[in-house]
Amino acid sequence: MTVIVLSFSRIMLSVASESGPIIFAVVGTAVLVGGSLVSVRRGVSKRLVGGACAVALVALIGVGLASAFSGERQELVDASEYDHYAVHPCGEEAEEYDESASRAVSAKSSVAATVILKDGELYAEMDGFPDPLTSISLQRSSDLTILFRNESVGEHRMILNYGTVVEDLGGGVMRDSKLQACTALIAEGGEQAITVRIPKPSSASPQSPYNIVVSGIEDSSIEVSVP
């Protein structure tokens, strides 16, 4: 059984991802048809059935060995060599998810704060405050929706920084990583919301202040206080 599983797994890892379901369907159909014939025709020679199974097993092992020597399909090879820790989805450069991200927000009734970038200046608006804000207070351990509206030239993304977390990279290697939530790159006139749950108060992270910034805009931020 172990040999069958290993051989079949090597085949699945080497063939194109589109071919996998087809191979599963063909093999499953063959097993179902073979089992049905044996159950219906009880007079079938055991030697014939055993011989057919042996031939199928040898063929499966042979194809599995050939697949193992040929290696995995290219997309799996690329994925294994890719440094996922080098990805910075909240950076200034466009990422894959930016291409299909929605730029419009339909429901705004549950927005905790609206962050606006206008003429290169960043400020926030909240219910109950008539004037633009450069510091806001958010609840802890609650799902919060923050809306970003870009009224400035160019594409920008809003980034919420809310502390750090220690990541275990394996092998005894630890790393401090920023806790961030960000929108996609938004063109002028667009808007997008993020939903985030902040687990700790801002006082717990004195070395990494909580704030909201926008990519590509220097010296402009919104201070975030979390009780």
pLDDT tens for residues 150-197? 999 999 999 999 998 887 777 777 878 888 999 999 999 999 999 999
Query: Could you tell me the residue range of the domain that residue 174 belongs to?
Result: 93-225
Q: Give the number of domains in the chain.
A: 2
State whether 49 and 120 are in the same domain: no
State whether 68 and 104 are in the same domain: no
Question: Token pair of 103, please?
Answer: 């730029």
Is the pLDDT reported for residue 209 higher than 70? Answer: yes
State whether 164 and 137 are in the same domain: yes
Is the pLDDT reported for residue 216 higher than 80? Answer: yes
The C-alpha angle with vertex 23 and arms to 17 and 24, in degrees rounded to 5, equals: 100
> Residue 86 domain-assigned?
no
> Residue 88 domain-assigned?
no
State whether 138 and 51 are in the same domain: no
Task: Give the residue-averaged pLDDT of 17-40.
Answer: 70
Q: What's the pLDDT tens digit per position in 81-140? A: 544 444 456 776 656 555 555 555 555 558 999 999 998 899 999 999 999 999 999 999
pLDDT of 13: 64
State whether 173 and 135 are in the same domain: yes
State whether 69 and 147 are in the same domain: no
CB of 124 within 8 A of CB of 223? no
Distances (CA, A) of 224 to 45, 137, 192: 78, 6, 19
State whether 37 and 146 are in the same domain: no
State whether 212 and 118 are in the same domain: yes
State whether 53 and 152 are in the same domain: no
pLDDT of 168: 76
pLDDT of 95: 60
